[in-house]
Structures are given as structure tokens and as C-alpha cells.
Chain A
Amino acid sequence: MPATDSSSAATSVGRSFLSLRRDHHNHIPSDPHHSNSSDLHEIDAFQRHAADLLNDLVLSVSDSDSDDPFLSLAWTRRLLDSFLICLEEFRAILLGLGLAGGDLARPPLDRLLHDFLDRAVKVLDLCNALRDGLDLIRQCRKHLVIAAAALSSSSDSAAPRGEAQIRRARKALTDLTILMLDDKDVSGGGQRNRSFGRATRDSSASHGHGHHRRSSSGGSSGSGSGSHLRSLSWSVSRTWSASRQLQAIGGGLTVPRAHDVAATGGLASAVYTMGAVLFAVAWALVAAIPCQDRGLQAHLATVPRSFPWAAPLTTLFDRILDESKKKDRKHSCGLLKEIHQIERCSRQLIEVTDTAEFPLPDDKDAEVQEATQELLQVCDSLKDGLDPLERQVREMFHRVVRTRTEILDYLSRPHNATG
């Protein structure tokens, strides 16, 4: 937790609500409920803590040796942790105020809160889509495990890999590649390419290569079993779009007017902060994890530098956008570091093994072994990281629901009637 002493708040002129409020103090009659300065400290502290958390997240961008490198599964889990912390603090501020007899249901706060609650609902659908995305990665992992097992199955590990192992691994990697194709690359699920009834025997090497080329060049058809699997990966309707959902979450999220900030005793800023964090986290998750109709076009209206979290938030957006523009990531189904590793290893393996020469020559076999090691390592980190991440996404879902319900309760509870 950052320091919450009043001196630091007071010195950050132009940043704190104390000062913002002071500016308007003489013009706007202040609500007796909101004149408690400890509320203001709390709101300031909340914002600075959000800034710290975001800062931590963007710091690992530069620090390549960290345990949880940028956009890795571990980093994504930290992102979710940070979000949950922010949400909890936000909730504590609002409900604390409600308990202290403050009135959340008074304009303009009621309108701001209802806006926030609408965004929150939209995040719930996103959480469900993200869960599907994580399941897609889990399906990918199954193919990875098959490939890895095939390539390291020989009882004599020194012996070069034989054609059977390579063939088996390539089949798994081909299924994997199709699974990871971006949605737009998959046109309606075609009949599975069976070995009988079609003259495709003895061509599995080039067959596999064909799939691979399609994925890297963003081609247009997927006729293998993967597209069949793929069509079943999403539980949301076919027209649903993560990209549009993000736009809806970020839409209309504007900097609160000074008048509103003052009239709400700074709460308007807290609501804005939470809205921005909600959007940023949703955006980063969509960037990282496969989703139906992914897209990062949605953006936040410029955040004034007076908000302590403005700078790290902008950095976060920029870094992720940079990553998404990298040549080898453009067509990824997600920016997750592990997805990149999967793509790299499987591409390498498919390229190296695109040969008719068996057993593999020593240099190629060494390359295969190396890639296999990396494959095994990715399998391990997916095994350790996917389940906790999925649980966190569920936690995010449930906590958003809970917070939303609590705020709604406060808004609907007729404080005025009794007090």
C-alpha cells in the first residue's frame, strides 16, 4: 500500500482531489456528507495504489529476467490480481461511504455509477469469452503434449527420431496450428479430411506443410479436423465480437468534470479510475488470450496527466500495441508469451522435419531435440498456469457481479426516505 499521509497528497498539486476540491470549494456549496476529508484521502490513496499496481505491471516489460515476463501467463495472473485489488478498494470506498450515511443515489454520482455498472455487465460476457479462449489454449496443449511425447518417446534418447515419431508429431502440430488460426482464417467447418475416400495417402508431409503455410500467411481455408474442433470452441454466439465488446466497455468513459468531482467529494474520480482500470484490464486480457473476433481498436479517451495512473496506463496500452504490431505476432490468436512460444516451436519443428530423409541427420535431430525441450517447457508452464488463470477469470466474473449487486443495492436502498 502506498503512503496515504496528507503531506504527500497536498504536495502533489494538481493531482489530488484535495486540491481539486479546494479549487472549487468557494464556488460550490459542499454536501455535508462529503466534507469528510478522510474520504478524500482514501480516494487519493486508491488512485495512487492503482497507479502503483499498473506501474508494477509495465515494469516487467523492460525487465526481461523477471519471473513473470510481460504478457506471460504469470504476468496475466498478476494483471488480474491487480484488478481484483483495485475493485476491492473501490468497493470499500463506495460502501464505506454508503455505510457512513453518504448518499450514492444522488446526482451526478448515481449517473456515473450506473454508467460503471453497465460497463461491468459487458465485462462479464468478456470473462466468459476469455474462459473459452483459455480452453482453446488447453486444447492446444493436448496436441503439444502429443507432439512432445512423440518426439521424446524413444527409449534410446540418443538415437535420432524416426519417421513414425516425426509423422505423429507433425500430425499433432498440424492440428494445433489449425486450432490456433485466427477466426477470420477459418471458413465454415469442412468435412474432416479422412484417409479413406480421398487420395491423400502418402502425402502427409506436404499436407502438414500446407496447413502450416496457411497459418503463417493468414490464408483462407481450414479443411482439416481443426476447423471442426474450432467451431465448437466458442460458447458465445457467432456474431459476438470481443472487439466490439471492448468498444462498448470503453465507450463514453470520459474524464469527470471538475464540477462533478467537487460535488461528489472526489468520488466521481474514483468511479472514473475504476472504469479506466476495468477497461484497460479487459483490453489487455483480450490482447493476450484468444477470443472470438479479437481486436484492439478500442481505446480510451486521453487521460489527463493529473491522474497518477495516467502514465502507467498509457505505457501499458503502448507496450501491448507495440507487441501486437510485431511482424511475427500480427496473426497470433493471442499475445500471450506462451502462445508465441507454441507458434515458434511448432513452426520450427514443422520446418525442420519437412524432409524425406529418415532418420534425421544429426544437426536436424539436435534442432528437433532443442525445440522439443522448449515444447516440454511450454507444456509445463501451461499446465501450471492455465487452471489458476481460468479460476482468476472466474473470480473476476464473480467479484464484478458481487460488486455490481452491492452498488445496486445501495443505489436502490431509499436512504432519503429513512434519513
Chain B
Amino acid sequence: MAEDGEEKLLATVQHIVKTLGRTDTMTEDILKVFSNYDGRLSLDKLYATRAAAAAAAVAAAGGGGGEHSVPASPPMPPPPVVHPPAAAIPAVTSLERTVRTLDRQISQFVTMERLIWANSAEADAFLEAVDDLIGTVQELDAAGTNRPLLDRADELLSRCMARLEDEFRALIERPDDVAPAAPGGFASDESEEEDYDADDGYGDEPIPIAKPVSDFDVVIDALPPGSVSDVHQIARRMVDAGFGRECAEAYAAARRGFIDESVARLGIRSRTIDEVHSLPWEELEFDIARWIPAFKMVFRILIPSERRLCDRVFEGLAPYGDLAFVAAVRTQALQLISFGDAVSAASRAPERLFRVIDMYEAVRDLLPDLDPVFSDPYSAALRAEVSAVCNTLGSSIKGIFMELENLIRRDPARVSVPGGGIHPITRYVMNYLRAACGSRQTLEEVMEGDLGAVGGAAIAVDPDRPTSSLAVHIAWIMDVLHKNLETKSKIYRDPPLASIFLMNNGKYIIHKVNDSELGVLLGDEWMKQMMSRVRRWSLEYQRGAWAKVMSVLQTGGPGIGCLPAKALLQKLRMFNGYLEEICAIQSEWVIADEQLREDVRAAISDSVKPAYMSLISRLKSSPEAAQDLFIKHSPEDVEARIQHLFEGVSK
């Protein structure tokens, strides 16, 4: 059993102390070493057995009768057996004297009108008296024979504690009121204090938190090292005397002002969810732009600095440091987090995607760094809230991204784009997706919904494959867009114009995909399919728009040589009419992509021009027709007319 082991350990320590500790100071030193060495040798465990510990202390002191013989702090470990308090009986009278002396000393201190810690010598004297008093109380408590004296000492102790609590708060809230750096053996700070410049006029300097910060590897030292040491000394006495909870409360109350002020300096306005919902997007976007750096600042600098300060003030005094830390930072931490909740719960308009991604990334990126800060059980709930808001923002991103689909579906097919050009929805969706690709790692992460693995294994997700969730979803959006465009193409009364429209939009999509990482996501198969679609639309256009022209130019195979000249002339007239008609109508049509425009013109030329030339040559070779043959368009004219198509010039 662990408890058994602990008991043995304590007994051993006790034994070593007794054997080695021949003088008081030596005993104290040894104890100090032990208590620093192992948390089990100090604190809460020992309170449960305080009586036994004190009795042992009396015994260990060997009834020397010295008033300062008991090392008060840290408390003595309990012995395996309680010694009969025989040695304590003659000590009672001396204890009475001790209490009387301490009362005189302490009363002077606790009625002081100014801070005791303003004078470090006085502070040391007060602490020494408190130590003696704690020891005396323990002795009396263990002896259990002089109840009135114990009550009196206890009462004196409670007055000390009240005063210590006030000094404690004052030292934390206004460190600059106090004379600098109390000397004393507690020089544990030096190694960590390289970045602290004592000549800097620390007290006058505003807390360096509002300055623009790009490097978050910064620690704020809200208290000068001397104050930290002073405050730690007080905390130790309060915990030793069993006032740990009061101390933690006082600490939290004293720090909250600083934390509130620091957060306020970041320019964060507290918003209710109601407000976030009704705020115009521009304003909310502005709030988000402020929130992101503030969030990083608070969770990367302010809170870790608080943790560090708290750990130093309550060094070796767990769990009171943890209690104090959470109580100090909780409200502000939650308030910042709740803005994330509010934004997540607000509208899912697609334009919000990028700002919410920024928020998500800010939270996600700092999650791993929070583990050492929120490692104790008391702040685990805060850590969980940060994780939760990360998840919430993640699903919000997913939702917003999905909303793009609805936006496309809802886009009505009422007004057609003149000339069959590129539809605004195509431009919007493609540019949106291109931009979204810039965050495809994050998008993939939230699409996979594998948010539990954030910060660790999530990096392994490879968004650059057409089978990734993001790629599948983007392919789906492209599909939805395609269907939407097909519906829109139906409102053109001219079927060839509908083909032009689809062709234009298809070509634009291909261009945008090729021009970005979308190509990687959608894959070669998709691209092949898309290109064949564009070819099909192009053919459909040619067939639809030029079918009657081609049929009129049809002079049949070699066997149709007997076609009467009249019919040939009729064909020529019809061709002329059709050409005029087509050019009149289609000159307003547009093919936006230059290459595609050339290709389509060439394709038309390639089929029309030879057929036309063959018709003309037939007419010319026909004796009847040749007489009154008037050729309005040379084949070159026809080609020129075709070359002017699709420029989108209105009449």
C-alpha cells in the first residue's frame, strides 16, 4: 500500500533528522532539504497528523526548554509512535512565557498603520515571530494539556494570519509600494530573471502587455523577484498555519485586477451572443481581427506568466497554487473562449469562412502549449473548454463550407448572362474555392472531423489526394455548380447559346482549377471529364448552330451531279440568308477564352468553308447557273465573317 510506504518514508526521515540534527539550525536545515526534496514530506498530509508531529518535535528538541527550539516551518513529519508527553510538562510554563512574549511582539506588528513589508527587517522579525507562534501552537496542540493557552495562541495566530493576508494582497497588488528586494536566503529566482531589469523603474513602467507582439515567447514578470520571494514567505506561513485556502483566495482576488486590466488593454469588447448574431459582418470581422491577437496574447503570454508567478509564490505548497491560479484566470479565460462560441453559433454565410478559419487556427495552434499550463486537475476544465471551442469552431467551418453548396443551389436561374458569358456564380465559387485551398490543411482537418487528434496526429492528414474528405467535398460542390449551370443554361431560348454558356463556364472552371491547388484535389480524372464536357458542348454548339447551314451546303456525293442548277442557286441563296442571320445573332455571343474562341472558329471554318467552296465550284461549273451567278460572299468573306463571331459586340 502506498500509504504504508509513505509512513515508512516519513519514519525514516524522522530517524535521520534525530540522528543528525544535533543542533536546532542543523535540524532545520535538514528538514528544509527534505521538504524541498519531496512533496510528501510537507504540507497537507502533515496537517492530518499535526498533533503527532508537534509531539515529536517536543521530543526531538530534547526538552531543552529553548523557546525557539521548534523548527516551525516546515512542519515536522509524524513519528511512527507518539511519545508520551512527559518531557512537555515542565515546558508548559515556559510556553506560557513564550506566548506572552509573542503576544507582545505580534501585537505591535498587527496594529501597525503601515505595511510591515515596507521595512524588510521588520518583515523578517514578524515572520520569525509567526514561525515561533506556529511552532508553539503545534506544541500546545500536541500536548493537549493547556487548553486556555492554546486558545490564546490560536487567537493570536488568527490575528497574524489576517494581517499576513492583508500584507500578502498589498504586496501583490502594489509591489512598488514596498522597498525593493527583501534580503533573505531565498535566491531561487536569479537564474530565471535574466530578462528582468531592476533599473528599469519597474513600478512606473506600464505592464508591457499592450505593445504589439509578434514573438509570443515572452514572460511577463508582474512582480519583481524580491516581492515574489516576500509573497512566497507569507504564503508558506499561511499554508503552514492551515490557512492555505484563505491564502489562495487572497492571491486570486489580488491578481484578478491585473488580469482584468491586461485583457481590457487588448481592446476586447465583451459581446453577448445576441449581439454577435445581430452585428453586421463588417463589425464582427473587426471584432474577430482584435480577438485573434488578444486570444494568443492571453493564452500564450498572460496566462502562462500567471502560472509561473503562481507556481513561484506557492512553490512547494501544492495544491493551493493550483487553486489560486484557476480562481485568478478563470473568468477572463472563459470570456475570451465564449466569443469563439458566439461566432461559431452565428450565421454560416460563406464569406465568414476565412475569418473563422483564422480563429480556429489560433486556438488549435496553442492547444499543445496549454498542456503544461493547465496540467493540474483544477484547471483541467479550462483546458477542456479551449478544446471544446476549438471543436466548435471546427464544425462551424465545416458548416460554413457546406453552406456554399446551399448558396449555389439557391442561386436562381432568372436572368441570363448576355452572350452566354461567364456567370457570376461561377466566378464566385471558383475564386472562393481557390482561396479556401490556401487553408486546405485546416479544412481537411475539420472535414475529417478528427478534431480529437488536433495538434498531434492530425498533421498526418494529407489533403492533397482526390480521396480526402476535402477533395470529395470540393468535387461535390463542383457537381452542384455544374447542375446549377445546366439549369441556368436552360433559360437561353437558343440551344446553341446554352452550349456556349456551358462551354464558357466550363472553360473558366478548368482554367481556375489548373491555376491552383484545386487541380491536385480534383485529380486528373476529373479534369479529363471536364475537358471532354467542354468539347461536347462545343460540338453541340456547332451542330446546333450550323446544322442547317451544313445541310444547305450539302450537295451530295459525286452521284448528285445531276442536281438541277436551280436547286443549287436556291441553296446559295439560303446559305447567304442563314449566314446573315447567324452573324447577326451570334455576333453578340461571347467566348471568353481566347484559345477556345479560336478553336471554335477554326472548327466552324473547317467544316463550312470547304463545303461552301464546293458549292460555288459546282455552281460555276454548271452552265445554266453560271449565267446569272452572283456570288455575294467569297469563301474568304465567309471565313472573315466567322472570324468575327463571339466577340460580344452588340449591334
A240 adjacent to B348 (CB under 8 Å): no
Per a CB cutoff under 8 Å, which of A159, A172, A197, A408 touches B348? A408
Residue of B nearest to A197 (CB): B113
Q: Mark B95-114, 1 if CB is under 8 A from A, else 0.
A: 00000000000000011111
Residue of B nearest to A159 (CB): B147
Mark out the residues of chain A between 344 and 364 whose CB falls within 8 Å of any chain B CB in the assembled complex: 358-359
Stretch at the interface among A31-39, A43-51, A260-268, A410-418: A410-418
A128 adjacent to B338 (CB under 8 Å): yes
Q: Mark B75-112, 1 if CB is under 8 A from A, else 0.
A: 00000000000000000000000000000000000111
Q: Mark B35-78, 1 if CB is under 8 A from A, else 0.
A: 00000000000000011000000000000000000000000000
* B296 close to chain A: CB less than 8 A: no
List chain A residues, Cβ under 8 A from B277. 121
Per a CB cutoff under 8 Å, which of A163, A171, A201, A237 touches B270? A237
A125 CA to B159 CA in the complex, in Å?
A: 43
A235 adjacent to B273 (CB under 8 Å): no
A233 CA to B330 CA in the complex, in Å?
A: 10
* A213 close to chain B: CB less than 8 A: no
B158 adjacent to A168 (CB under 8 Å): yes
Contact A155/B51 with A164-B154, A167-B158 known, Cβ cut-off 8 Å: yes
List chain A residues, Cβ under 8 A from B158. 163-165, 167-168
B166 adjacent to A163 (CB under 8 Å): no
Contact A195/B163 with A125-B274, A235-B338 known, Cβ cut-off 8 Å: yes
Mark out the residues of chain B between 588 and 633 whose CB falls within 8 Å of any chain A CB in the assembled complex: none
A135 CA to B114 CA in the complex, in Å?
A: 35
| Minimum C-beta distance from B397 to chain A (A) | 13
Stretch at the interface among B242-250, B357-365, B457-465: B242-250
A405 adjacent to B155 (CB under 8 Å): no
Residue of A nearest to B271 (CB): A237
Residue of A nearest to B347 (CB): A408
| Minimum C-beta distance from B133 to chain A (A) | 11
A145 adjacent to B270 (CB under 8 Å): no
B409 adjacent to A418 (CB under 8 Å): yes
* B443 close to chain A: CB less than 8 A: no
Main secondary structure of the interface of A (DSSP, over half): helix
A196 adjacent to B166 (CB under 8 Å): yes
List chain A residues, Cβ under 8 A from B154. 162-165
A413 CA to B157 CA in the complex, in Å?
A: 70
| Minimum C-beta distance from A68 to chain B (A) | 24
Residue of A nearest to B167 (CB): A196
A124 adjacent to B273 (CB under 8 Å): yes
* A111 close to chain B: CB less than 8 A: no
Residue of A nearest to B335 (CB): A235
| Minimum C-beta distance from A200 to chain B (A) | 11
* A401 close to chain B: CB less than 8 A: yes
* A156 close to chain B: CB less than 8 A: yes
A125 adjacent to B272 (CB under 8 Å): yes
* B178 close to chain A: CB less than 8 A: no
* A330 close to chain B: CB less than 8 A: no
List chain A residues, Cβ under 8 A from B542. none
A197 CA to B341 CA in the complex, in Å?
A: 45
* A216 close to chain B: CB less than 8 A: no
Mark out the residues of chain A between 263 and 319 whose CB falls within 8 Å of any chain B CB in the assembled complex: none
B253 adjacent to A225 (CB under 8 Å): yes
| Minimum C-beta distance from A81 to chain B (A) | 20
A195 CA to B157 CA in the complex, in Å?
A: 15
A278 CA to B410 CA in the complex, in Å?
A: 32
* B406 close to chain A: CB less than 8 A: yes
* B392 close to chain A: CB less than 8 A: yes
List chain A residues, Cβ under 8 A from B344. 401
A121 adjacent to B249 (CB under 8 Å): no
List chain A residues, Cβ under 8 A from B236. none
Per a CB cutoff under 8 Å, which of B150, B162, B253, B388 touches A228? B253
Q: Mark A134-166, 1 if CB is under 8 A from B, else 0.
A: 010001001101100100010110010011110
Mark out the residues of chain B between 230 and 274 whose CB falls within 8 Å of any chain A CB in the assembled complex: 242-243, 245-246, 249, 253, 256-257, 260, 270, 272-274
List chain A residues, Cβ under 8 A from B334. 131, 235
* B127 close to chain A: CB less than 8 A: no
Per a CB cutoff under 8 Å, which of B111, B242, B253, B273 touches A125? B273
List chain B residues, Cβ under 8 A from A359. 147, 151
B410 adjacent to A417 (CB under 8 Å): yes
Mark out the residues of chain B between 161 and 177 whose CB falls within 8 Å of any chain A CB in the assembled complex: 161-163, 166, 169-170
Q: Mark A238-272, 1 if CB is under 8 A from B, else 0.
A: 00100000000000000000000000000000000
Residue of A nearest to B399 (CB): A405
* B184 close to chain A: CB less than 8 A: no
Interface size on B, residues (CB 8 A): 59
A233 CA to B256 CA in the complex, in Å?
A: 10
Q: Mark B317-342, 1 if CB is under 8 A from A, else 0.
A: 00000000001001100110010011
A162 adjacent to B151 (CB under 8 Å): yes
List chain A residues, Cβ under 8 A from B272. 125, 128, 236-237, 240
List chain B residues, Cβ under 8 A from A194. 166, 170
| Minimum C-beta distance from A174 to chain B (A) | 12
A121 adjacent to B253 (CB under 8 Å): no
B155 adjacent to A167 (CB under 8 Å): yes
List chain A residues, Cβ under 8 A from B330. 135
* B639 close to chain A: CB less than 8 A: no
Residue of B nearest to A169 (CB): B158
B114 adjacent to A197 (CB under 8 Å): yes
B245 adjacent to A146 (CB under 8 Å): yes
B162 adjacent to A195 (CB under 8 Å): yes
| Minimum C-beta distance from A116 to chain B (A) | 14
List chain B residues, Cβ under 8 A from A106. none
| Minimum C-beta distance from A385 to chain B (A) | 15
Mark out the residues of chain A between 362 and 419 whose CB falls within 8 Å of any chain B CB in the assembled complex: 387, 394, 397-398, 401, 404-405, 408-409, 412-414, 417-418
A373 CA to B272 CA in the complex, in Å?
A: 41
A153 adjacent to B155 (CB under 8 Å): no
B403 adjacent to A412 (CB under 8 Å): yes
* B144 close to chain A: CB less than 8 A: yes
Contact A417/B409 with A164-B158, A195-B110, A197-B114 known, Cβ cut-off 8 Å: yes
* A325 close to chain B: CB less than 8 A: no
| Minimum C-beta distance from B589 to chain A (A) | 28
B166 adjacent to A121 (CB under 8 Å): no
| Minimum C-beta distance from A238 to chain B (A) | 9
* A1 close to chain B: CB less than 8 A: no
Contact A232/B270 with A128-B338, A164-B158, A413-B406 known, Cβ cut-off 8 Å: no
Residue of A nearest to B338 (CB): A128
| Minimum C-beta distance from B376 to chain A (A) | 15
List chain B residues, Cβ under 8 A from A25. none
A135 CA to B326 CA in the complex, in Å?
A: 12
Mark out the residues of chain A between 77 and 124 whose CB falls within 8 Å of any chain B CB in the assembled complex: 121-122, 124
B166 adjacent to A155 (CB under 8 Å): no
Residue of A nearest to B156 (CB): A164
Residue of B nearest to A195 (CB): B166
A417 CA to B170 CA in the complex, in Å?
A: 69
A163 adjacent to B151 (CB under 8 Å): yes
Q: Mark B132-164, 1 if CB is under 8 A from A, else 0.
A: 000000000100100100110011111101110
| Minimum C-beta distance from B284 to chain A (A) | 14
List B residues at the A interface (Cβ < 8 Å).
50-51, 110-115, 141, 144, 147, 150-151, 154-159, 161-163, 166, 169-170, 242-243, 245-246, 249, 253, 256-257, 260, 270, 272-274, 277, 327, 330-331, 334-335, 338, 341-342, 344-345, 348, 381, 388, 392, 399, 402-403, 406, 409-410
Residue contacts A-B, CB under 8 angstroms, 28 given? A124-B345, A125-B272, A128-B272, A128-B273, A128-B338, A131-B334, A139-B327, A142-B327, A145-B245, A146-B246, A163-B151, A164-B158, A168-B243, A171-B162, A195-B110, A195-B162, A197-B113, A204-B162, A228-B257, A232-B331, A236-B270, A240-B272, A358-B151, A358-B155, A398-B392, A401-B344, A409-B399, A409-B402
Question: 6 tightest CB-CB pairs across the interface, nearest first?
Answer: A164-B154, A162-B151, A164-B158, A164-B155, A235-B335, A124-B273
Other A-B pairs, 19, CB within 8 Å; known A204-B162, A401-B392: A121-B274, A124-B274, A124-B341, A124-B342, A128-B338, A132-B331, A135-B331, A142-B249, A142-B327, A149-B242, A155-B50, A163-B151, A192-B169, A194-B170, A236-B270, A397-B341, A405-B345, A414-B406, A417-B409
